[in-house]
Amino acid sequence: MKKIEAIIRPEAFQTLKDGLSAVGISGLTVTEAAGCGKQQGKKGVFRGTSFEIQLVPRVKVEMVIEESRLDEIVDVIIDSCSTDTIGDGKIFISSIEEVIRIRSGERGKEAVL
Ligand X SMILES: Nc1ncnc2c1ncn2[C@@H]1O[C@H](COP(=O)(O)OP(=O)(O)OP(=O)(O)O)[C@@H](O)[C@H]1O
Chain positions contacting ligand X, by CB under 6 A: 7, 33, 35-39, 56, 58, 86-90
State which residue, 52 or 67, has the beta carbon closest to Mg ion: 52
Residue 102's binding partner, choosing from Mg ion, ligand X, none, with beta-carbon cut-off 5 to 8 A by kind?
none
Cα–Cα distance between 86 and 9 in angstroms, integer? 11
State which residue, 38 or 103, has the beta carbon closest to Mg ion: 38
DSSP string covering 2-40: EEEEEEE-GGGHHHHHHHHHHTT----EEEEEEE--SSP
Q: Is 32 in a helix, a strand, or coil?
A: strand
CB of 55 to Mg ion, least distance (A): 12
State which residue, 17 or 90, has the beta carbon closest to ligand X: 90
